[in-house]
Amino acid sequence: MKETRENAGIFTFALAGNPNVGKSTVFNELTGLKQHTGNWAGKTVGTAEGTCRYVKGKMIAVDLPGTYSLIPRSPEEEVTRDYIAFEAPDAVLAVCDAGCLERNLILVLQILEITPKTAVCVNLVDEADRRGISVDTEKLSALLGIPVLKTSALHGRGVGGIPAAVKTAASLTKAYAVTYPECIEKAVINLSPLAGEAGKSKGPSFVRWLCVKGLEYDEKLMIKLSKAGMITPEFLFYARRERERIDAELGKQTTLEETVAEAYAAAAEKIAGSCVSSCEGSADRRDRAIDRVLTGKFTGTAVMIGLLAVLFWITLVGANKISDLLMSGADALGGLLRRATDLAGAPEWFCRLLCDGVYRILAWVVCVMLPPMAIFFPLFTLLEDIGYLPRVAFNTDGIFRHCGACGKQALTTCMGFGCNAVGVTGCRIIDSPRERMIAMLTNSFIPCNGKYATLAALLSIFAVPIGGSVLTAALLTALILLGFAMSLAASKLLSVTFLKGKTSSFALELPPFRRPRICRTLIRSVIDRTLAVLGRAVITAAPAGAVIWLLCNIPVGDGTLYSLCTNVLDPAAALIGMDGVILFAFIAGIPANEIVLPLIVTGYAASDSVIGYSNLSQLGDILLSSGWSVTTAICTVLFMLMHWPCATTLLTVKKETGSFKYAAAAFALPLTFGVIICFFTNTVMLILK
């Protein structure tokens, strides 16, 4: 692809930068794409590509995963390093945060060591101004020897100058170079002639980078460099000899890797000290005051639980009213559909299949699942935009570490609220393979939007008449916390059995609080989350409803094929406080959690012909008339919270791990917890009767 672009004269530049610097926002503004951006580390987990709209002709921008360093500790950071080193873009645009330039410059200096064809975009200058921070970009450009420009990509300011800056950078052959201690500089001089022809063709800056990497000897990288002809076989032999000499000179007080890192940090500090001026602004004082509450030892957890409860209360109050209205409309529309099929002269079996099977379950999905998702996820996304989710990770880091997991698992846990498959994919940000596996196998304990909507509906049916929406919100919060506690328990179990190892540390950045983009947030949450999930549920629900109806109407002996299946499952279901209809619905609902409750009601209703409904109260009557007790309701809620993940999540685990074994473990682990909890609950309830 790169060769084709060169032949066609297409200019390609890569965007690199730390997480949270607005890199993807710069990319979106450049290309006009609406790539989702998040306010926490590691949100970008792949590359995106688009055509720059600010120039005539074709200029391709490639958005690389966010990284703090080109010394990779995760697959995403390795993607960024390898793209810059091996794909040879015409230029690199390093996006920095004006509010914390010194930290960002470490990555810039590492990029410059690979290629001088680099420009710097100092972004978020509006936030920096509010915090009393000013960056002298002219002086920074003079010190680095590359183009530097200011932008506020969120407001579209300064982005139009990027194409000219990267075009200028593409012609550069020399830029700022970090100075290492004498023992390392001597080794670089000795190794330089041993670089391969492909390495030498990229210039002295790249050869210098090759020499430093050779001294550090990253085996995986060395194989790539050797295959690409960038180093010679003799290079590795002499690199080891030079490394032994350096280790002897440095002694036991420090290592070569630490010395290199210190050189980058010292250079970044010196450059930033010359270009950045600051005075404490009111925004900084405000952020610190708020963080003392949100991340406080005693207040952080209380605020986190309180916010979650408030979100649930707002969701339930609004969702119940909207659901009742939608159900009334769906009931009327169902009557019209039935009359239309009768007038069309359709066979009776087809009318019932369409109206009692397909339409009923579709109406359920839309009327019961849509309202809570449409309210909860915009509110949750607003917290994400404001910058609260990294504070959640900060508050829960110690808990995860105590369970033998990585603190970054808090971030993937938050992703799981939207979709467990996304949460599993997000586990790529975890460096340790062991901890990454723990996070993937336990993510399904966090209720995704499908489980959440079902839990909200069941609690609304049974808890609202008893204690109102406040009690229902409190119970839903308790359920979410129970799911979180079970994920911690499962993490601990895995860390002391099959996935033993030491817990790693990680750097977590707490970004400044940002004003939420309400309109953009609403559009994004509705399109990316609510409608996408609803569409998946509808596509799954229609055939599932038809299959359930057919099973209920195919006679077998004295009953139907459906009753035969549920009767077979009844003994096992009774042990965990449910019946065969419920357990069969869970099994049939594996394509999507959203359809489990509709399948339960459809199964009951289809066996008793047509049962009308126009609100959640009447749906509750259907369940009660079908034999539900308090025990049934509690065990169904608990099993919904803890059972196997949907098919999409299981396939994602298989794809991420490359093994059916781990996909099977992701299926069995929550199921085991769910069966044990439900069996214990059912036993206790039977004893108390």
Distance CA(238)–CA(215), nearest Å, equals 9
- Amino acid present at 244: E
Fold that domain 182-278 belongs to in CATH: Helix Hairpins (1.10.287)
pLDDT value of position 367 = 78
Reduced to 3 states (helix: H, G, I; strand: E, B; else coil), residue 62 is strand
430 neighbors 499 (Cβ within 8 angstroms): no
pLDDT value of position 616 = 65
- Identify the residue whose tokens are 């055509």: 51
Structure tokens at 282: 């009111």
More confidently predicted of 48 and 464 = 48
**DSSP conformation letters of 483-501:** HHHHHHHHHHHHHHTTT--
**DSSP conformation letters of 260-299:** HHHHHHHHHHHHHHHHEEE---HHHHHHHHHHHHHT-TTH
pLDDT value of position 472 = 80
State pLDDT tens for residues 426-476. Answer: 787 787 888 889 999 999 998 887 787 788 888 888 876 665 678 888 888
pLDDT above 60: residue 41: no
Confidence band of 139 (pLDDT split at 50, 70, 90) = very high
pLDDT value of position 440 = 93
Please state which of the ranges 141-145, 272-276, 392-396 shows the lowest mean pLDDT. Answer: 392-396
What is the arithmetic mean of pLDDT over 255-277? 93
pLDDT value of position 136 = 95
Q: What are the residue ranges of helices labelled H in 497-579?
A: 518-524, 532-553, 561-575
Contacts of 530 (CB under 8 A, 6+ apart): 370, 373, 374, 377, 449
62 neighbors 76 (Cβ within 8 angstroms): no
pLDDT value of position 609 = 38
43 neighbors 66 (Cβ within 8 angstroms): yes
Give the start-to-end residue ranges of the domains of the chain.
Answer: 9-170, 182-278, 300-497+520-688
Distance CA(472)–CA(466), nearest Å, equals 9
pLDDT value of position 370 = 75
State pLDDT tens for residues 650-682. Answer: 988 998 888 899 999 999 999 999 999 999 999
Please state which of the ranges 244-258, 323-337, 506-520, 569-583 shows the lowest mean pLDDT. Answer: 506-520
State pLDDT tens for residues 18-35. Answer: 888 889 889 988 988 655
Domain pair 9-170 / 182-278, same fold: no
Confidence band of 7 (pLDDT split at 50, 70, 90) = very low
How are beta strands 91-97 and 118-123 bridged, if at all? Answer: parallel
Distance CA(430)–CA(437), nearest Å, equals 9
State pLDDT tens for residues 59-118. Answer: 999 999 888 888 877 777 788 999 999 988 999 999 999 988 999 999 999 999 999 999
Reduced to 3 states (helix: H, G, I; strand: E, B; else coil), residue 314 is helix
378: Cα separation from own chain's centroid: 16
Closest Cα partner for 529 from 593, 445, 598, 449? 449
Confidence band of 8 (pLDDT split at 50, 70, 90) = low
Distance CA(359)–CA(394), nearest Å, equals 46
pLDDT value of position 464 = 64
For the chain, the average pLDDT equals: 84
Distance CA(396)–CA(624), nearest Å, equals 40
Distance CA(381)–CA(526), nearest Å, equals 10
CATH of domain 9-170: 3.40.50.300
pLDDT value of position 534 = 67
State pLDDT tens for residues 486-536. Answer: 999 999 999 999 888 777 666 666 777 777 777 766 776 666 666 666 676
Distance CA(389)–CA(20), nearest Å, equals 13
Distance CA(113)–CA(25), nearest Å, equals 26
Distance CA(543)–CA(357), nearest Å, equals 9
A 10 A CB-CB count for 566 gives 23
Q: What's the maximum distance between 2 C-alpha atoms anywhere in the chain? A: 93
What is the arithmetic mean of pLDDT over 411-426? 79
Q: Looking at residue 160, what DSSP letter applies?
A: G
**DSSP conformation letters of 615-666:** SHHHHHHHHHHTT--HHHHHHHHHHHHSSPPPHHHHHHHHHHHS-HHHHHHH
Percent helix / strand / coil, the chain, rounded to 5: 70, 5, 25
Please state which of the ranges 40-44, 195-199, 395-399 shows the lowest mean pLDDT. Answer: 40-44
More confidently predicted of 588 and 431 = 588
Closest Cα partner for 165 from 255, 52, 278, 86? 52
The region that residue 387 occupies, defined by phi over 0 for left and psi between -120 and 50 for alpha, beta otherwise, is left
pLDDT above 70: residue 1: no
pLDDT value of position 529 = 61
pLDDT above 50: residue 611: no
pLDDT value of position 638 = 95
E strand or H helix at 348, and its extent? Answer: helix 348-352
pTM for the complete prediction?
0.72
The region that residue 71 occupies, defined by phi over 0 for left and psi between -120 and 50 for alpha, beta otherwise, is beta
564: Cα separation from own chain's centroid: 42
pLDDT value of position 468 = 66
